[in-house]
Amino acid sequence: MNSSNLIGKPLLEVDTPSLLLDAEAMQANLNLMARYFQGRPAKLRPHFKSHKCSRLARLQMQAGAVGITCAKLGEAEALADAGIRDILIANQIVGPIKIARLVALARRAAPMVAVDSAENIRMLSEAAAAAGVTIRILVEVNIGMNRCGVEPGTPALELARLIHSLPGLKFEGLQGYEGHIVDLRDEAERTVKVRAAMKPLVETRRLIESIGLPVHIVSGGGTGTYTITGDLPGIDEVQAGSYACMDWWYSDIRAEFRQAQSILATVISRPTANEAVIDVGRKGVGAEFGPPRVKNLPGARVDKFGSEEHTTVTLPDGQTLPVGGRVEIIPSHGCTTSNLYREYIVHKNGVVTDVWPIDGSGKMQ
């Protein structure tokens, strides 16, 4: 059945595996996060990488987000196609093919990109100036994750100066992502470590401001740290993404958000009295933080996980689940799960209310 024909049908008529989105739970998450940022100095710029769905991104904008964050240029193009203009690509856009696409995007939206090298800055400037557009730039600062980014202090200041001196670019500020500690299980430990990690980022802001260069945006944070990073003086924007749909890895430390997404699966085999094999595996479940958990079936758990298209659910004694029965599971990682699907089956009270394309799925380029 064509998915759009599903609207108004019960979930029982949805083929499996499908990625379900509970509309009420998702909206409650959006509202809760919006309330947190209401009246605060820091603003929310939700990360698209978590759900990759522009329909959902537009709801986030309606709930007060100042713009959208994304990881890839292809995601930014999908957002622009959906009418969203203020887009942070929180990564380096490198090489002539990508930069030509970025310049084209700047004609129909207001993209902002991260940089961490002088070569990249010079190439961006040349292309933007030649095309007569302005690209907004954040200098990425390494605050302990040791992935991309220059060191805080003088190295960041020098790049800021370079950006400011070149045509076609606008220095907007800094980005520093505490990804190495964003999901620490212990809240007290997370709070202490995140504050310490963000300190050199804010100090770098002050250093740059001290030479008379305005810093408009300092961006960082995630779902695990929105109340920590989002509460720090000197932080302007938080890039939280997972809060909208959630996963069990974040649910364990962020119980204030509801579990809005799940994977609907069908039992295809009952190999033993207490095992039910369902029709989804690694190709449909983001599992970097552990195997999926079973929803609405107390005592059931996933002990065997690893096949591409199968997951074995271990049932508690006395639980029946026939071949053909339905099970919902919650992935440990929502961001890598949504990327495996092409659409969200949006539902309310067990009935499909809409089907939203996951238009950022596979947009790695």
CB 245 → a second copy: shortest distance, Å? 15
What is the distance between the alpha carbons of residues 266 and 324, in angstroms, rounded to a whole number? Answer: 6
What is the distance between the alpha carbons of residues 30 and 43, in angstroms, rounded to a whole number? Answer: 14
Query: Would you count residue 116 as binding a second copy (CB under 8 A)?
Result: yes
In this chain, which stretch among 54-62, 141-149, 227-235, 248-256 interacts with a second copy, using CB under 8 A? 141-149
Query: Would you count residue 314 as binding a second copy (CB under 8 A)?
Result: no
C-alpha to C-alpha distances, 7 to 141, 304, 344, nearest whole angstrom: 46, 34, 12
CB 161 → a second copy: shortest distance, Å? 19
In the region spanning residues 189 to 228, those forming contacts with a second copy, defined by CB under 8 A, are none
Task: Return the residue matching tokens 């238009």.
Answer: 359
10, 41, 83, 95: which one binds a second copy (CB under 8 A)? 95
C-alpha to C-alpha distances, 133 to 108, 297, 299, 331, nearest whole angstrom: 10, 55, 58, 42
Size of interface with a second copy, in residues (CB under 8 A):
61
* Residue 54 backbone phi and psi in degrees, to 5: -70, -25
| CA neighbor of 156 nearest in space, from 221, 211, 237, 88 | 211
What is the distance between the alpha carbons of residues 107 and 206, in angstroms, rounded to a whole number? Answer: 32
CB 18 → a second copy: shortest distance, Å? 7
If the CB atoms of residues 212 and 271 are measured against a second copy, the closer one turns out to be 271
229, 242, 251, 361: which one binds a second copy (CB under 8 A)? 361
306, 316, 349, 351: which one binds a second copy (CB under 8 A)? 306
If the CB atoms of residues 24 and 158 are measured against a second copy, the closer one turns out to be 158
What is the side-by-side order of every strand in the sheet holding 217-220? 43-44, 237-238, 217-220, 169-175, 135-140, 110-115, 86-92, 68-70
What is the distance between the alpha carbons of residues 6 and 111, in angstroms, rounded to a whole number? Answer: 36
What is the distance between the alpha carbons of residues 259 and 245, in angstroms, rounded to a whole number? Answer: 6
| CA neighbor of 56 nearest in space, from 250, 246, 287, 295 | 246
In this chain, which stretch among 61-69, 160-168, 226-234, 308-316 interacts with a second copy, using CB under 8 A? 308-316
Amino acid (one-letter) located at 190: R
Query: Would you count residue 304 as binding a second copy (CB under 8 A)?
Result: yes
In the region spanning residues 249 to 278, those forming contacts with a second copy, defined by CB under 8 A, are 266-271, 277
Query: Would you count residue 8 as binding a second copy (CB under 8 A)?
Result: no
Query: Would you count residue 350 as binding a second copy (CB under 8 A)?
Result: no
**Residue 328, beta-bridge partner list:** 264, 295
In this chain, which stretch among 94-102, 182-190, 225-233, 250-258 interacts with a second copy, using CB under 8 A? 94-102
In this chain, which stretch among 147-155, 168-176, 203-211, 313-321 interacts with a second copy, using CB under 8 A? 147-155
Where on the chain is the footprint of a second copy (CB under 8 A)?
A: 1, 13, 15-18, 49, 71-72, 91-95, 97-98, 116-117, 119-120, 123, 142, 146-150, 179, 266-271, 277, 279-280, 282-284, 288, 304, 306-310, 312, 322-324, 335-336, 339-342, 361-362, 364-365
